[in-house]
Amino acid sequence: MTSSRNFLQAVPVLRRLDPLDRTMFALTLAVWAMHYAMRTFLSLMPGDTWIEPGSLVARTVASTIGIVLCLAIHVVLKKAGSNHPWRLLGYALALSFPASLLLTWSGEYVFRYFTDYYAMYPDRWMSGMELGETYKAYQWNFFAWCALYAAARNNAEVRRRDQQLAAATNAAQQAQLLALRLQVNPHFLFNTLNTLAGLIVLGRTSESEKMVLSLSRFLRYTLSRTPSQLTTLADEIGMLRQYLEIEAARFSDRLKVTWDVPSSCMQAMVPSLILLPLVENALKYGLGGSDRPVEIAIAAREEHGQLVLSVEDDGGSAHGSAGSGLGIGLSNARQRLAALYGDEGRLESAPLEHGWRSVIRVPWQEDMVLEPAA
């Protein structure tokens, strides 16, 4: 196999062929090389008279004609456009009969030209028995080629469809991830712009300017990342701090945030914006539905080869109004985890005695970009 690949790479004309043509050329070459070796071995058996050097040349020419005929069948079948294996096999076998007849007839002239065989046995020239034996030998070789040809074409078609399916699946996952993330961003922008408008009306210019700068940094962060791209937890925490600074202007001294994120976790990789919907829901249902101060605790830890992220609030049971505790944002986060990690990424969200807790578990990894799960 390696020598065949090296041979194909060494011939410039073959390198310009498509993969299917190169495969068929290598297959045809191998089949007729085996035929040549077997016929040469039989000619060296005791009692056989085809031992003169010219017979090797004649056999080489005849095998070359066989290779050309097989490749011609391949060209015809390729133009026919059918990829069904049994239909391909039937067409190839049908074409092999006239090809074998043509090779038998031309082979007789080749051996007459390069050898003294028919000078020694003139009665065998174009005799029915002689032609029949030669035809059977060639036809069996064509049968073997046809079977291998149909199998190789079917294998190439399966690989092509698998590649198309993988490409389509990847494109669908990328589109799904993009759609899910775009559902999160307008929700955040709506709340932020409302808050900004209120600050402007109240004449709180410095706070408005600070919020605009924070919003600008946040948008720069989101637009610089693709849906399937991972970011470090440090970047994600930095984005959340900017977001919570903006939200603090809405809720004033009613919002308290605590962080429990050890430095050892800061370089762990997480999907971009994966924590945002958890914090958004904590604000919406925990703090937004209560008149008292609410504390939001954001934590991270490594546990059994996983990165565990949690967002917890003590805002009461208002989350239950989201229906099983999952609003659109959290549902999207769960779908993103499933698309990126498969069964290895999970989002668990449940009520506490006083508040709500959401936990994300993803495989621990550093400095990597994860492709969507197949």
Write the CATH number for 282.
3.30.565.10
10 with 97, same domain? yes
Question: Does residue 221 share a domain with residue 140?
Answer: no
Q: What is the pLDDT of residue 2?
A: 47
Q: How confident is the model at residue 10 (pLDDT cuts 50, 70, 90)?
A: very low
For residue 313, report the phi and psi dihedrals to the nearest 5 degrees: -130, 160
In which band, very low, low, confident or very high, does the pLDDT at 124 lie, cut at 50, 70 and 90?
confident
| Within a domain: 189 | no
Structural domain containing residue 90: 2-166
Examine the pLDDT at 48 and tell me if it is beyond 90: no
Say if 218 falls within a structural domain. yes
- Of 139, 166, 193, at which residue does a domain stop? 166
pLDDT of residue 223: 66
Highest mean pLDDT among 86-90, 192-196, 259-263, 338-342: 259-263
Considering the domain boundaries, does residue 85 fall inside one? Answer: yes
Domain check: are 161 and 211 in the same one? no
- Exposed/middle/buried for residue 129 (C-beta within 10 Å: 0-12, 13-18, 19+): exposed
Rounded Cα distance between 331 and 294, Å, is 23
More confident residue, 252 or 338: 338
Residues 155 and 32 grouped into a single domain: yes
Question: Of 356 and 85, which is predicted with more confidence?
Answer: 356
To the nearest 10°, the Cα dihedral for 57, 62, 64, 69?
170
Question: In this structure, how many other beta carbons lie within 10 angstroms of the beta carbon of residue 258?
Answer: 10
Is pLDDT above 60 for 306? yes
Q: How far is the CA of 190 from the CAs of 179, 197, 290, in angstroms?
A: 17, 11, 21
Question: In a 3-state reduction of DSSP, which class is residue 37?
Answer: helix
The token pair at 255 is 């919002």
pLDDT confidence of residue 361:
95
Same domain, 82 and 134: yes
Of 142, 166, 190, the last residue of a domain is: 166
Same domain, 280 and 344: yes
Residue-level pLDDT at 12? 52
Domain-located, residue 182: no
Cβ density class 51-84: b for 16+ within 10 Å, e for less = eeeebbebbebbbebbbebbeebbeebeeeeebe
Lowest mean pLDDT across 147-151, 249-253, 297-301: 249-253
Both 158 and 221 in a single domain? Answer: no
Residue 183 counted as domain residue: no
Same domain, 237 and 289: yes
Q: What is the mean pLDDT of residues 55-69?
A: 86
Residue 329 scores a pLDDT above 80: no
pLDDT of 324 strictly over 50: no
The answer to whether residues 159 and 304 belong to one domain is no
Claim to verify: residue 145 and residue 7 sit in the same structural domain: yes
* Residue 22 pLDDT grade (very low, low, confident, very high; cuts 50, 70, 90): confident
pLDDT at position 89 is 84
| Tally of CB atoms within 10 A around 358 | 25
pLDDT digits (tens, 9 = 90+) for 196-221: 887 788 887 887 888 888 778 777 77
Residue that finishes a domain, picked among 143, 166, 189:
166
Beta-strand relationship, 346-352 and 255-260: unpaired
Same domain membership, residue 295 and residue 244 = yes
Query: With a threshold of 0.85, does the pTM exceed it?
Result: no
The answer as to whether 142 is a domain residue is yes
Cβ-contact 10, 146 below 8 angstroms:
no
pLDDT of 368 higher than 60: no
* Residue 172 is assigned to a structural domain of this protein: no
Res 325: pLDDT: 40
Q: Is residue 173 part of a domain?
A: no
Number of domains within the chain: 2
pLDDT value for 360: 95
Say if residue 171's pLDDT is above 70.
no
Q: 268 vs 334, which has greater pLDDT?
A: 268
For residue 264, the model assigns a pLDDT of 92
pLDDT at 319 > cutoff 60: no
Residue 44's pLDDT band (cuts 50, 70, 90): low
Average pLDDT, integer, range 122-148: 83
- Whether residue 144 sits in one domain with residue 47: yes
pLDDT at site 77: 85
